[in-house]
């Protein structure tokens, strides 16, 4: 290595991470709750009657007709200068006839207030439907947490919220 003044010659320059690709670990729940914080019955293996969007597994929240909140979430690192887009597929099955049970989808990114991006209710499609939302660019590396929080009230009918193929895509 040659040194000229304070400039090092012959040292490889480390490139900044590319702002491309999907960064959610186990985004289709194929490895159970690996990479996610989830309750013990949240990730299920699909069957022919209720197939996954892709693969064989998905996250199933609520659906017991008991008063409770159930959360599944994951946290990732977003490199500096990268934009991030949240994407996921969801469907709802219900016997509910009035609003009460819901699924809030949130995104929390370091340096910005947490946001509820979507609030799904009993009247959401029973077929898999894609949802996306774009977050802003930051000059510094940051942490992003995506969360799915299902709230269910007993005696209001049974509502199950299914989530699959969750992505945080860099651009």
Residue 142 β-bridge partners: 78
Confidence (pTM): 0.86
| 1 belongs to a structural domain | no
pLDDT at 39: 77
Over residues 44-63, the pLDDT tens digits come to 777 788 899 999 999 999 98
The Cα-based distances of 108 to 12, 115, 135 in angstroms read 35, 6, 10
Q: Tell me if 8 is assigned to some domain.
A: no
The whole-angstrom separation of Cα 147 and Cα 131 is: 14
Domain of residue 116, CATH code: 2.60.120.260
How many structural domains is the chain composed of?
A: 1
Q: Is residue 3 part of a domain?
A: no
Residue 6 falls inside a structural domain? no
Low-confidence ranges of the chain (pLDDT < 50): 1-3, 6-7
Q: Looking at the chain, how many residues does it have?
A: 171
Q: Are 163 and 91 in contact (CB under 8 A)?
A: no
Q: Cα separation of 62 and 93, whole Å? A: 10
Write down the pLDDT at residue 1.
46
| Nearest Cα residue to 102 out of 144, 46, 131, 61 | 61
Domain with 141 in it: 17-170
β pairing state of 57-62 and 102-109: unpaired
- 41 is a domain residue: yes
**pLDDT digit string (tens) for 124-154?**
999 999 999 998 777 889 999 999 999 988 8
């Amino acid at each position: 290595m040659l040194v000229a003044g304070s400039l090092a010659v012959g040292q490889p320059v480390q490139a900044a991470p590319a702002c491309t690709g999907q960064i959610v670990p186990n985004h289709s729940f194929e490895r159970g709750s690996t990479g996610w914080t989830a309750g013990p019955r949240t990730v299920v293996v699909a069957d022919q009657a209720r197939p996954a969007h892709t693969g064989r597994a998905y996250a199933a929240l609520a659906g017991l007709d008991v008063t409770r909140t159930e959360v599944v979430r994951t946290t990732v690192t977003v490199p500096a200068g990268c934009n991030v887009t949240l994407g996921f597929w969801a469907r709802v099955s219900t016997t509910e006839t009035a609003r009460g049970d819901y699924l809030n989808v949130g995104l929390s990114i370091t340096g910005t207030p947490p946001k509820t991006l979507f609030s799904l209710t009993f009247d959401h499609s029973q077929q898999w439907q894609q949802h996306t939302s774009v977050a802003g660019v930051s000059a510094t590396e940051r942490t992003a947490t995506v969360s799915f929080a299902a709230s269910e009230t007993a005696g209001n009918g049974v509502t199950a919220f299914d989530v699959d193929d969750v992505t945080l895509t860099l651009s």
